[in-house]
């Protein structure tokens, strides 16, 4: 292997290590410096040092610890030389404004605290209610997903400068609001945890069914959301809804390979080749659901949704699906989190369990809900029911309406094709 090839391999290794270690590094540094931007700067400095050092010395056995040590040295140097060091050091209580070895050692000890706790603090900070939802998503993907601004912008079909501004504003807002770098307690923790889980699931859903663009799915976002969910489950093993969300995402993600055909066109759930479903993800998802239920969380919103997904996963054929149970689960979900979207999904299950007539009655009872005005799935479902009832002209109009509402190009083509078949 030539020197150039060896260096290229080392750089690939550094990139892989950085993807894994970046969130932990930033989390550990944020606890000490109390500023996300400064922590990112220190982490980037450590990466630059690694890029200069590792091609000659090789990747160390514990690259994460190596990067943290490099960042520590940069932090100590920064605190020594910045004019604002005294104020910052008083704030974090380490008193390393002098050059005494004891004070420097105290900083080392602070940086060696539990990494898991730091990650949890960073997750809760990134999803603080002081930030608008779109900023929580961007900041979470940047700090915890390790995605670049360009990758986030591409995933959500937003201009890169817009994403960059959201991230900058989010960090500034957190700093100006004095958001504590901590895991909240009691009622505040429950409220913030709901926000955290909501952000993670929003990321997953955007990957699972892209709202716009030419791609039906964006698997990278699904993968990042699942990874964040697993991190949360490790850090909060007593929280049933965290396990339930992991279950929901993993069971849904198990269908990824079967959701498109060889040409990349969408394949509906009942038409999917279930032999292509990922059985490992299904087993893991079912285990996470069992854990959520064992913790007493069977009636949580994510647990109920995961139970619905499990009904599909356990059916080896589409016709084996227990639609009556799914309809009942949607009824329970509607009681926990009332929503016309949930009623719409319940109607789909009722159509499979009882026929299109009763389901259409349920749809028509909610079709004028303001929340569903621009929701393309409503005319999709209504069109499907009308087609089954032989009302082809009405069904065609519904599919055309659905195509006009969605911004996903693949979905538009799929729905227009359905409408043309009814001409």
**pLDDT higher than threshold 90 for residue 359:** yes
Region 361-384: mean pLDDT is 90
**pLDDT higher than threshold 70 for residue 112:** no
- Which of these, 70, 48, 44, 51, lies nearest to 10 by C-alpha position? 51
How many beta carbons lie within 10 A of that of residue 93, not counting itself? 9
Which percentage of the chain shows pLDDT scores above 90? 38
- Report how far residue 182's alpha carbon sits from residue 40's, in angstroms, rounded to the nearest whole number: 18
- Name the 3-class secondary structure at 159: coil
pLDDT tens, residue by residue, 153-193: 876 768 889 999 999 999 999 999 988 888 888 888 888 88
Q: How confident is the model at residue 95 (pLDDT cuts 50, 70, 90)?
A: very low
Can you say how many angstroms the Cα of residue 91 is from the centroid of all Cα atoms in its chain?
33
**pLDDT higher than threshold 50 for residue 214:** no
Q: How confident is the model at residue 80 (pLDDT cuts 50, 70, 90)?
A: confident
Q: How confident is the model at residue 147 (pLDDT cuts 50, 70, 90)?
A: confident
Host H or E run for residue 407: strand 407-408
2: phi > 0 → left, psi -120 to 50 → alpha, else beta; which?
beta
- Report how far residue 70's alpha carbon sits from residue 47's, in angstroms, rounded to the nearest whole number: 9
pLDDT attached to residue 100: 41
- Report how far residue 135's alpha carbon sits from residue 363's, in angstroms, rounded to the nearest whole number: 34
Whether 241 contacts 288, CB under 8 Å? no
**pLDDT higher than threshold 70 for residue 86:** no
Q: At residue 311, what are phi and psi to the nearest 5 degrees?
A: -60, -40
Strands (E), 212-296: 212-213
**pLDDT higher than threshold 50 for residue 104:** no
65-69, 153-157, 274-278: which range is least confident on average? 153-157
- Which of these, 330, 347, 337, lies nearest to 384 by C-alpha position? 347
More confident residue, 362 or 104: 362
- Report how far residue 230's alpha carbon sits from residue 242's, in angstroms, rounded to the nearest whole number: 9
Q: How confident is the model at residue 115 (pLDDT cuts 50, 70, 90)?
A: very low
Q: In the chain, how many H helices and how many E strands?
A: 20, 2
One-character DSSP codes across 310-328:
HHHHH-SSGGG--HHHHHH
pLDDT attached to residue 155: 67
Name 215's Cβ contacts closer than 8 Å, sequence gap at least 6.
410
**pLDDT higher than threshold 90 for residue 355:** yes
**pLDDT higher than threshold 70 for residue 141:** yes
Whether 278 contacts 254, CB under 8 Å? yes
pLDDT attached to residue 27: 85
pLDDT attached to residue 398: 93
Q: What is the mean pLDDT of the chain?
A: 84
- Report how far residue 59's alpha carbon sits from residue 72's, in angstroms, rounded to the nearest whole number: 19
From the number of C-beta atoms within 10 Å of its C-beta (0-12, 13-18, 19+), residue 106 rates as middle
Q: Counting every residue, how long is the chain? A: 423
Q: How confident is the model at residue 3 (pLDDT cuts 50, 70, 90)?
A: low
- Name the 3-class secondary structure at 212: strand
More confident residue, 83 or 318: 318
**pLDDT higher than threshold 90 for residue 92:** no
- Name the 3-class secondary structure at 170: helix
Region 5-13: mean pLDDT is 74
pLDDT attached to residue 91: 58
More confident residue, 222 or 326: 326
58-62, 167-171, 173-177, 205-209: which range is least confident on average? 205-209
Name 128's Cβ contacts closer than 8 Å, sequence gap at least 6.
136, 174, 177, 179, 192, 195
Tokens of 89: 């050091």
């Amino acid at each position: 292997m030539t020197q150039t090839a060896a260096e290229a391999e080392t750089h690939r290794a550094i990139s892989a290590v950085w993807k894994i270690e970046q969130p932990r590094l930033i989390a550990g540094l944020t606890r000490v410096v109390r500023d996300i931007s400064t922590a990112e700067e220190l982490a980037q400095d450590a990466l630059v040092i690694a890029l200069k050092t590792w091609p000659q010395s090789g990747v160390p056995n514990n690259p994460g610890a190596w990067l943290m040590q490099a960042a520590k040295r940069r932090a100590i140097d920064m605190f020594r030389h910045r004019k604002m060091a005294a104020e910052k050091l008083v704030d974090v209580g380490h008193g390393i404004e002098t050059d005494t070895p004891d004070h420097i050692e105290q900083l080392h000890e602070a940086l060696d605290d539990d990494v898991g706790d730091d990650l949890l603090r960073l997750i809760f900070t990134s999803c603080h209610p002081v930030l608008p939802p779109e900023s929580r998503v961007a900041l979470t993907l940047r700090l915890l997903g390790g995605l670049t601004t360009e990758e986030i912008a591409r995933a959500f079909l937003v201009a890169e400068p817009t994403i960059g501004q959201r991230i900058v504003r989010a960090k500034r807002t957190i700093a100006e609001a004095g958001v504590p770098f901590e895991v909240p307690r009691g009622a505040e923790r429950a409220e913030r945890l709901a926000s955290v889980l909501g952000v993670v699931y929003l990321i997953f859903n955007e990957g699972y069914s892209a709202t716009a663009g030419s791609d039906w799915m964006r698997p990278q976002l699904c993968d990042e959301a699942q990874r964040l969910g697993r991190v949360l489950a490790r850090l909060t093993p007593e929280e049933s809804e965290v396990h339930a969300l992991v279950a929901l995402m993993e069971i849904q993600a198990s269908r990824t390979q079967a959701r498109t055909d060889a040409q990349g066109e969408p394949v509906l759930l009942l038409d999917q080749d279930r032999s292509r479903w990922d059985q490992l993800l299904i087993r893991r998802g079912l285990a996470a659901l069992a854990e959520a239920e064992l913790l007493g969380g069977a009636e949580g919103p994510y647990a109920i949704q995961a139970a619905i997904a499990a009904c599909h996963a356990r059916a080896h054929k589409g016709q084996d699906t227990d639609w009556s149970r799914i309809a009942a689960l949607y009824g329970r979900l509607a009681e926990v989190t009332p929503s016309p979207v949930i009623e719409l999904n319940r109607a789909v299950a009722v159509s499979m369990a009882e026929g299109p007539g009763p389901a259409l009655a349920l749809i028509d009872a909610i079709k004028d809900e303001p929340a569903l005005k621009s929701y393309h799935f409503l005319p999709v479902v209504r069109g499907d029911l009308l087609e089954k009832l032989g009302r082809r002209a009405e069904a065609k109009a519904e599919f055309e309406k659905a195509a006009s509402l969605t911004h996903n190009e693949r979905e538009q083509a799929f729905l227009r094709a359905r409408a043309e078949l009814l001409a």
